[in-house]
Every structure is written in structure tokens, then in C-alpha cells.
Amino acid sequence: MQKLMIFFFIIWTIAFPLLAEDDLYLEPQKKIQVSTIIIDPGHGGLDHGAVSQHQINGELVSLIEKTITLNIAQILKEHLEKALPDKRILLSRDNDTLIHLADRITYFNSIPLELDETAIILSIHANSSYNKNRRGYELFTNFDADSLFTKILKSEFTNTFGNDLPFLGIMNGNHYLPRNAQVPAIIFEMGFLSNEEDVKMLYNPSGIEKSAGALARWVCALLQYFDDTSFVARFKENADNSDVVDMNVVDMNVVDMNVVDINVAGY
């Protein structure tokens, strides 16, 4: 018995250093990079999204969410193509077309990516509320946003709009898009069509250009944040790869106990 134990001990002392040496030559895990940015203008076609009318400078102005989101998205795409020539910048729609939510998800989740690549989705919307005084911008995500993520976001929009545009927060939203997307997804509610101050600030040609510019600068900073924090690798580890279920619903986002924000047809 003693001889057998000595034999195994000798084998172990020879084999273990060899195994440890082999480990030194294992190929390091590749870093996952964001290769594709998908800009998703909310609504389209028969789905108008939020609609409002306001008296601005003595003129009755009609606003339709599907048009606003497309205008912002098209300008944002131009900015990102210039700023990030090595990235693939895609639009889920580039005209007034109705794309059902399940079809959007199928498109998002079928974009070809290498093992060390990911896409991110930025879905652009305009908010609306029964409370006409409610205003500002907010986000819904399929991941937990930390304080640095929030700081980067607020910094860019404060630099653009000052403190006049309130920040309402970042919520881990249980909406159709973030719930079913297999890559990091962000719903960005730019401001409230139901609020006159937000309309004056955001939803005119100058405001749309400023909004697109702020979004572009934020996305560039966001990619650096993703890279520095290995965020994408952690997201992939925790990703929920559940099947897409077509839900024909109206999403109602309860943001606080007194206000319900409504965005027709959901997202």
C-alpha cells in the first residue's frame, strides 16, 4: 500500500507542473465588442404613437410621435456613421412603415454577429401623460444601469439642454422590446408630447437636431463605458434567451403612484 501511494505521489509531482505550464499557454478570452448599433424609431405606418396639438407662438402645431422618432433616428444615424466609421449603424425603419413588435425582435435577434461581437438597440420614443405638467426624459432597459451609466447620460443631456429638461430616471422595464431582445436594449423616451415646455424645447427642427446630437455623443461615450467595464460580457452571461411571443398589447408604464404614462401600441 505504501509503495502504491509513493507511486501516485511521483506521478502527481511530474504531471502537475506540466498541466500548470500548459495553462499558461491557453488563449486569452476575446473581448466582446459592440460592432452594430441598431436605431429603432418607435411606431410607424398605421401606428401613430402619441399625438398632440399645442398653441406655440400663436400657431396650432400638431405632433405625431412616429414622425418625430423617424426624424431623430435619421439624423442620429448620420452623426454615428461619421463618428463611428468602424461600426455598423442600422435603422429598423427608414420610412413611414408599420413594423410589428415581434417582427422587430426577429430582425434584432437575427442580425449576424461574430462570437466576440454584440449589437445594442436604441429605440427612440416620445412620451405622453394624462398629467400635462409631467415632462422630461427617461429610459427603460433590459439591464441594471449603474451610477456611471447614469452619470454619462445626464452629463450629455445637461450639456445640451442645461437643467431645463428634467431627468426622470432609468428603469429596468418589463416592456416587449427589452424583455425579448437578446442584446442590450434601451428605450429612450425623449420628452412628453403632452407637455408644452417639452414640445417647445424638443419637438421643433432645432430641438430635433440637438436631441440627435446629444444622443450621438452619448452613444459614443456609452461604447467606451461598455468597453471599460466589460459590460457586454457580463450581459451575455446573464442574457435571457426566452422565445419571442407575439403580444398585441398596449403597454402602460406606471412611473409613480400618481401618474400613468401611455404610449399607444407599446414597445
Q: What gap in Å lies between CA 69 and CA 165, rounded to an integer?
A: 18
β 88-91/33-41 pair status: parallel
Q: What pLDDT score does 32 carry?
A: 86
- Domain residue extents for the chain: 34-262
What are the beta bridge partners of residue 161? none
Residue recorded with cell 463611428: 84
Q: What pLDDT score does 28 carry?
A: 47
Q: What pLDDT score does 50 carry?
A: 96
Q: What gap in Å lies between CA 128 and CA 62, rounded to an integer?
A: 14
Q: What pLDDT score does 252 carry?
A: 30
What are the beta bridge partners of residue 75? none
Q: What pLDDT score does 6 carry?
A: 56
Backbone angles phi, psi at 18, to 5 degrees: -65, -40
| DSSP assignments along the chain, one per residue | -HHHHHHHHHHHHHHHHHHHHHHTTSPPPPPPEEEEEEEEE--BTTB---EEEEEETTEEEEEEHHHHHHHHHHHHHHHHHHH-TTSEEEES-SSS----HHHHHHHHHHS---TTEEEEEEEEEEE-BSSTT---EEEEESS---HHHHHHHHHHHHHHHTTSS-EEEEE----HHHHH-SS-EEEEEEEETT-HHHHHHHSSHHHHHHHHHHHHHHHHHHHHHHHHHTHHHHHHHH---PPP-------EEE-SSS-EEE-TT--
- As averages over each run of 10 residues, the pLDDT of the chain (267 residues) reads 54 49 46 93 96 86 94 98 97 96 96 93 96 95 91 92 91 86 95 94 90 96 89 78 38 33 46
- In CATH terms, the superfamily for domain 34-262 is Zn-dependent exopeptidases (3.40.630.40)
Please name the residues in contact with 217: beta carbons below 8 A apart, sequence gap of 6 or more. 156
Q: What pLDDT score does 255 carry?
A: 33
Q: What gap in Å lies between CA 190 and CA 30, rounded to an integer?
A: 35
Q: What pLDDT score does 234 carry?
A: 84
Q: What pLDDT score does 4 carry?
A: 52
Q: Which of 190, 185, 186 is nearest to 137 (CA)?
A: 190
What are the beta bridge partners of residue 62? 53
Exposed e or buried b per residue across 252-266, where buried means at least 16 C-beta atoms within 10 angstroms of its C-beta: ebebeeeeebebebb
CB atoms within 10 A of CB 103: 13
Q: What gap in Å lies between CA 259 and CA 80, rounded to an integer?
A: 35
CB 35 within 8 A of CB 117: yes
| pTM score, whole prediction | 0.80
